[in-house]
Structure 1
Amino acid sequence: MIEPFLSAVPVLKKLEDAGFEAYFVGGSVRDYLLERRISDVDIATSATPDEVKEIFTKTVDIGIEHGTVLVIYRNRSYEVTTFRTEAEYKDFRRPKEVFFIRSLNEDLMRRDFTMNAIAMDNSGQIIDPFAGQTAIKEKIIRTVGNATDRFQEDALRMMRAVRFVSQLSFDMEENTKKALIELVPLLENIAIERKRVEFEKLLLGSNRKKAIRIMLETSLYAYLPSLKNNKDSLEEILSYELQDLAIHEMWSLLVFCLKYKGKQMETFLRNWRLPLKEIREIQLILFYLHKRLEQEWTVYDLYTSGSTIILSVEKLYQVLKGNKENETIQKWLNLYEDLPIKNRSEIDVNGVELMAWFNQKGGPWLKETLFTIEQAILDRKIVNDKRKIKEWLMECNQN
């Protein structure tokens, strides 16, 4: 057994010492078997939420109606969830009622895919009633039980299936894929925010192109915000090498292929419920990308964009041009780092001083003068020094 399981073993033992069962479950066990990096662990127990709260002194109710309590133990936090089964689902999103049970097997039975229906005890022994290890070995995404039932319970599981294709490079089992094709319209019942979470994970997976192909084959894309009539644009994305693109760069590439600009671009991103800050960053990336496709960077564009935008734009430029060498990316980043100033606030003179030098009140001339100084410093016509700037201005004023 490895971390972070080792640090969490005492939590399992405290539950067991109190007379309850407790296991590691879900994605952390799956990733352990796949030898993938594990960030945190989930714990399932036969103890009810109230019983969990009696055992541990520090807890937080984060989803107690669904049986989940956050346990804070030895300065670490663990989500501990009671074994449960669920009544009939409503709106293809959530169960009408949750029932707490004492059976691990019944708890695993309600999970989405066999690879996620595996438990591990405090000694590292695996409990695998639905052949999840076989699915992992065969690299197959297979639902626990009938695929139609699982997808009708929660339609988002269809997006999760495709997301796992991207993240794990697994294939989808035939009956699972057939059920997805048949039931994909149920995604209309799922909140856009939930779809976005899965879509962004899909866009970042190592096998994202394979996942996008499945989206096209199954028509899943047609039930995502503003993508229904844009099959050609998604197919265009498949023509590019997408490795190493971050999420904002993937969104930017998608918008670029959609050929959206201005208001249309913003509407598309807002339809996906992206935070405004992220929308603005994507808009900046695309603004400079379109300029970059027409000409090389100017000093002023490097200055106004900043290193983060420069990096994203250059990565996308290389993707669109089919270039594999990254030397030019570093070239432009080096030129940015070599700029005499990175921000107007770094200019060694301010508006109050300019008004004093010229004995004038504020007005449009002040903004124009500061811009002139800024340009001159960037073009290395003057040094960013108060005395030198004043001398240069006075000389310009005389001419």
Structure 2
Amino acid sequence: MQPFKHAAAIIEKLEKHGFEAYFVGGSVRDFIIGKPISDVDIATSALPNEVMRIFPHHVPIGLEHGTVLVLYEGISYEVTTFRMEAEYDDFRRPSHVSFVRSLEEDLKRRDFTMNAIAMTANGDMIDSFGGQEAIHRKQIQTVGNPDERFREDALRMMRGVRFVSTLGFHLSDETKQAIQEHAGLLVHIAIERIAVEFEKLLLGEGVRQALLLLAETDLYAYLPYFEKKGEQIASAAMYNWDVIQSSEEAWALLLRAVKPENADALLKNWKLSNKKVHTITSILHCLVQLEKSEWNDMLLYQSGEEISIMTERVVSALQGERPSIEHVHSLYKKLPIHSRKDLAVTGTDLLQWTGKQGGPWLAAALGQLEREVVCGRLANSKESVKEWLKQCNLL
């Protein structure tokens, strides 16, 4: 209750000014489940301007949706006015939002019953749609008609499957059937929004069940580059996902099953950051090399410790074994050098010793020198390098 205890002061202050206020959303759901609570959100009958008047320390982050970020004792809380939503014209956003004074009207617009529970500052539950029973049964059930909920916001279908993964719950029969019938609506959703849900799905404890659901409900067919990969996505459910610790590793593991022609293009199409794309493709490159041989000094050096350890986890997930992280770490630590900066000589040294002008030969010489040192064929000292240069007829 500690996160709620701190935020209770906001609810109490709103109530003192004559308004209703409750804890809502994922924090209430996770509290009932017994999961750690992160963000605490508050819903109130107070209008945004009334909230801002009561709490001078605030940030108006979404007034059109009724949301004010209230700053209280170093912690920020989203306080949102009860609202109703008009028709959804594009399967993503309501055409109009109306502020109301009714908690039930506000809860009625939410996606799943487990997310439509409100809690008072004293811990009393307001559960008009059977959310607690659904949580008890570990069931994901839409608030009201699932066809209507998914036509309002098609991303809710991905959220439902994501909750299967992150909570270990199951879809109700009618919710699952509605996803199968309306999967095509996902084409109306921005890939950035889908990617957020998809990455959470890949990192959940129930990822195997979620991947099978993506295939079974045909949602996969509306994910970029996965249109014809239903069997491969289902096969990925057989991997040992328990050892995966990052979204980059998760993507690499999935793509080993999907086998895209161009992983770089696929990942960029998903609008992932350049850094994340580079990390994932580096892991995939390392996996290809490990199919030809075991870990060796040059592969460890070129990949770097972080990529090497990530790759080891993916390998263990593919093979159903425990990752040998300490082994990889030990091999990497024993390398003579860990970057070109660790070499005893520089390009400037080579230019001075040889008396040559810079050019392609210099990059080639440094590259060969690097390989010789990494593989233990040449000591990392200026004397050894000078002798090596003589043998290569460069001195």
TM range (shorter): over 0.9
1:114 and 2:113 correspond? yes
Helix, strand or coil at the partner of 2:59: strand
Instruction: Indicate if the aligned counterparts of 1:84 and 1:107 stay in contact, CA closer than 8 A.
Output: yes
1:253-264 superposed matches below 5 A: 253-261=253-261, 264=262
Is the Cα contact below 8 Å between 2:57 and 2:71 reproduced in 1?
yes
Which letter maps to 2:257?
C
Correspondence 1:303-318 to 2 at 5 A = 303-318=301-316
CA distance in 2, matches of 1:379, 1:16: 71
In the alignment, which residue of structure 2 is the partner of 1:101? 100
Shift of 1:288: 1.0
Tell me, yes or no, if the aligned pair for 1:302 and 1:336 is still in contact at 8 Å: yes
What whole-Å deviation, never above 9, does each CA across 1:294-338 have from its counterpart, x for those lacking one?
A: 21122111001011211122122222233x2333x4212211022
Q: Which residue of 2 aligns with 1:337?
A: 333
**SS of 2:292 mapped into structure 1:** coil
Higher mean alpha-carbon deviation, 219-228 vs 359-368, is at 359-368
* Residues in 2 aligned to 1:188 and 1:242: alpha-carbon distance in whole angstroms: 28
Change (3 A) 1:258 1:326: closer
SS of residue matched to 1:143: coil
Per the TM alignment, residue 388 of structure 1 is displaced from its structure 2 partner at its CA by 5.2
In structure 2, C-alpha distance between the alignment counterparts of 1:151 and 1:313, rounded to whole Å: 38
Amino acid in structure 1 at the alignment position of 2:83: R
* Conservation of the 8 A alpha-carbon contact between 1:87 and 1:95: yes
Q: Name the residue aligned to 1:244.
A: 243
Contact 1:114–1:141, Cα closer than 8 Å, also in 2: yes
Contact 2:243/2:316 (<8 A) preserved: no
Q: 1:1-399 residue pairs with structure 2 within 5 A?
A: 1-2=1-2, 4-245=3-244, 246-261=246-261, 264-322=262-320, 324-327=321-324, 329-386=325-382, 389-390=385-386, 393=389
Q: CA deviation at 1:395?
A: 6.8
Q: Tell me, what secondary structure is at the counterpart of 1:95?
A: coil
Q: For the residues of structure 2 that align with 1:82 and 1:374, how far apart are their CA atoms?
A: 63
- Decide whether the 8 Å contact of 2:157 with 2:179 is kept in 1: yes
The CA RMSD over aligned residues, in Å, is: 1.9
Moved more, 105-114 or 55-64: 55-64
Bigger drift between 368-377 and 52-61 goes to 368-377
Aligned equivalents of 1:55 and 1:205: distance in 2? Answer: 39
TM-aligned CA deviation for residue 397 of structure 1: 5.0
Distance 1:284 1:388 in 2: 32
Change in CA separation of 1:395 and 1:116 when aligned onto 2, cut-off 3 Å: same
Pairwise CA distance, 1:382:
4.3
> Which deviates further from its counterpart, 241-250 or 162-171?
241-250
Report the residue type matching 1:96 in the other structure: S
6-15 or 34-43, larger mean C-alpha shift: 6-15
Structure 1: tracts of 5 or more residues without a match: none
Compute the TM-score of the two structures, normalised by the length of structure 1.
Answer: 0.93
1:114 Cα deviation from its structure 2 partner = 0.7
How far did residue 164 of structure 1 move? Answer: 0.7
8 Å contact from structure 2 (residues 240, 317) kept in 1:
yes
Distance 1:5 1:20 in 2: 18
Q: What is the letter of the counterpart of residue 176 of structure 1?
A: T
Question: Equivalents in 1 of 2:363, 2:216: separation in Å?
Answer: 55
CA distance in 2, matches of 1:366, 1:227: 44
Instruction: Supply the AA of the counterpart residue of 1:265.
Output: A
Displacement of 1:63 in angstroms is 1.2
CA contact (8 A) 1:230 1:258 kept: yes
Distance in structure 1 (CA, Å) of the matches to 2:323 and 2:274: 30
The question of whether the paired residues in 2 share the 8 Å contact of 1:61 and 1:68 is answered with: yes
Between the aligned residues of both structures, percent identity stands at: 49
| SS of match in other structure, 2:344 | coil
1:293–1:317 contact (8 Å) kept in structure 2: no
Q: Give the C-alpha shift of residue 361 in structure 1.
A: 2.2
How far off its partner does 1:143 sit?
1.1
Shift of 1:134: 0.8
Q: Is the contact made by 1:285 and 1:313 (CA closer than 8 Å) also made in structure 2?
A: yes
Moved more, 188-197 or 371-380: 371-380
User: Contact 2:243–2:323 at 8 Å: present in 1 too?
Assistant: no
Aligned to 1:78, the other structure's residue is in SS state: strand
CA–CA distance in structure 1, aligned partners of residues 394 and 271 of structure 2 = 55
Output the amino acid matched with 1:186. L
Residue deviations 1:248-306 (CA, integer Å, cap 9, x gap): 12211222222224xx2222222222222211211111111011012112211100101
CA distance in 1, matches of 2:7, 2:384: 63
Quick one: distance in 1 between partners of 2:316 and 2:135? 35
Distance in 2 (alpha carbons) for counterparts of 1:106 and 1:71: 23
Distance 2:391 2:252 in 1: 46
Unaligned runs of 5+ in 2: none
Q: Which one is further off, 247-256 or 61-70?
A: 247-256
Structure 2 CA distance for partners of 1:6 and 1:383, relative to 1, 3 Å = farther
The answer as to whether partners of 1:114 and 1:143 remain within 8 angstroms in 2 is yes
CA distance in 1, matches of 2:68, 2:158: 27
